[in-house]
Structure 1
Amino acid sequence: MRIRIQLSIVMVLVLTGIIFFTWKSGNREQEQMIEEIKVPVVTMNPRSGTLEKRISFRSFVESDHTVAVYPQAVGVLQSVPVEEGQRVEAGQLIAVLENESLLLNLQQAQSALNLARDDMNRYKTMYEKSLISEQQFQTVETNYKATESRYELARVQYEYSRVKSPIEGIVQRVNVEPGILVSSQVNLMSIATRDSKIIKADIPEKYYEYFQKKGNLAVEVYRSGDKEKIYRGKIEYVSPFISPGTMKFQVTVKLEDSGQLVPGMYMEVSFILDKRDDQISLPYSALTRKGQLWYVDDENLVHSLTPGEIFNGDEWFAISGDLADKAFIVEGQHFLSEGQEVRVIGGSAN
């Protein structure tokens, strides 16, 4: 009898243990399930620093001084011994018109001039010795001057067939190809000086007020995709008119340190419209579609607020300084409710 009672007690204890273990396991699973249901979020603290508002456009480097080259003769273009981007010296041959007949004419004129000069010298000696009359000498002298004029004309015509660069610079654009008929109305090429370079940008009308009221805005110029090397620029001219066709106005920027740049390079021009120092700010990714911010308190409960408009930069916006110590949600904030408990899975203190 005593043994049966002892067995009953043992069985009761075992059953009680099983029930307790099952209850504890269920609680843990329930707690784990509740934890998994919590929305995961990523937070960050606002940063303190400088905010900028800027606009950027792409354009080409140009020379502040460009010369259009036109031939001074009519003829078929024989060759163009230079190419775009090539540096040329003043007086360097840059185009040749077909000139075989001109060269032959020049050679004949040179021979005639040599003969006329010899006659002139011989008759001058004879005249000085009174061996010929003054009239005979003047006839020879007149013939010499006429021959000299014909030679000079032949020389100029030949030289006109050999087009030379009027300045030292860079061939910015070649507009012709060998084989075409050219004249003084045909622009052969453009040559730009290397000394002073500019960039022109067409700016939308909505930014006109910035360029009128704030004087010379800061300008940064860099090659597209490479912001490591920044070239400084200064606004040299703002068009007083807005194009009715494009609704844009043109701004000319003079490059201040353009030694490595050549006309024709594709660049990006950035105008800093406004700049604020010591701003407490967040990235735009922290805003919900309704323009709200959510932050997490010490108990992982979330709260929302609507930030006042202080200053909007390009990628970050300023918020009130009394919010600097809050952990704002930058990922997972779009479907939250006030006071909801969340699970913070990442964060940074910027």
Structure 2
Amino acid sequence: MSKLKDLGGLGQAVWLDFVDRKFLEAGGLKKLVDEDGLTGVTSNPSIFEKAMGHGDAYDETLATFDAKTPGAATIDRYEHLAIQDIKAAAETLQPVYDRLDAKDGYVSLEVSPYISDDTDATIAEAAKLWAAVDRPNLMIKIPGTQAGAPAIAATIAAGINVNVTLLFAVDAYIRVAEAYAMGLEERVRQGQPIDRIASVASFFVSRIDTMIDKEIDRRVGEGDAEADALKAVRGKVAIANAKIAYQWYLEFLKTDRWQALAAKGAQPQRLLWASTGVKDPAYPDTLYIDTLIGADTVNTMPPKTMDAFRDHGTAAVTLTEQIDEARHVLAEADRLGLDLDGVTGTLVQEGVASFVKAFDDLLGSIAAKQPATA
């Protein structure tokens, strides 16, 4: 049996962090569902920029749309292409969604990164994209920013599934977990069902180590007196941070607040490990899979990481192991002045900025593809 399927047996869903027209048309997604037990797909502006901005896979569809809708805005042309891909992925995953009774089988589509600090605009765009795709196994991706939290609550209350993205800090995760509960509670007050509403909280991993390790290396290189202690936490902070977030999740499920929702059929908002591709060649390429395996979680992997785990990953429950060690790592990071709070705050800003740049590039490449009738 595939090692990726083994993860499913341990309670962790495997999602693909990739969408591409040619991949979908060639049956690549269905193959992963059939052979590896894949149960979801994520997309973001960077993924779409790579897919649409290069090559000619989308040119024919775009030309047809332009012929039917002359003078359409670039954003509308992009959304037409993206929605087609998301619908195709959703249809491939529909049997998974049905088999698992709405507990998985989701594909995610992100709101525009241009509105990450605008609550009302995010709520409106989530509703627009939800209606345009019109598939029950869609999740709308909303950044876990300060403005995103109330948008998440409102979107859940409207009966729309949400994938909260760009989470780095435990405090930010707690804020959006509570926003999810708030949205469900509002639906209950409205007399609406909550048993088929789903959400994941996408907690980013490798980027934290990338930034902190860079600071560690700088200080060690300069002969810092704490060099040994710094080296001892290198490559461990992101995993420790994720493990502590999961500990909060486990405790939240025990609360009266959550139990009241669970009694009405509410699904837990699963933690999803994102940014799981290893950036540092000194680390095993399956590091952020092997160390974060646990029940009711998701790991969304780029194709290269998925291939690596299939080949030589280790499927065993690790997420709830060495929690005291995780707390020690975070305490050491704090004592050593590695400023995890500052790092996670910077990473949110950089994440939004990188998606904005990718979106700029994507819209620019689509704008450059002139209508066939021009």
Task: Please indicate the TM-score interval, normalised by the length of the shorter structure.
Answer: under 0.3
User: Which structure has the larger Rg over C-alpha atoms?
Assistant: 1
For CA contacts below 8 A with separation 6 or more, give which structure has more relative contact order: 1
TM (norm. structure 1) is 0.19
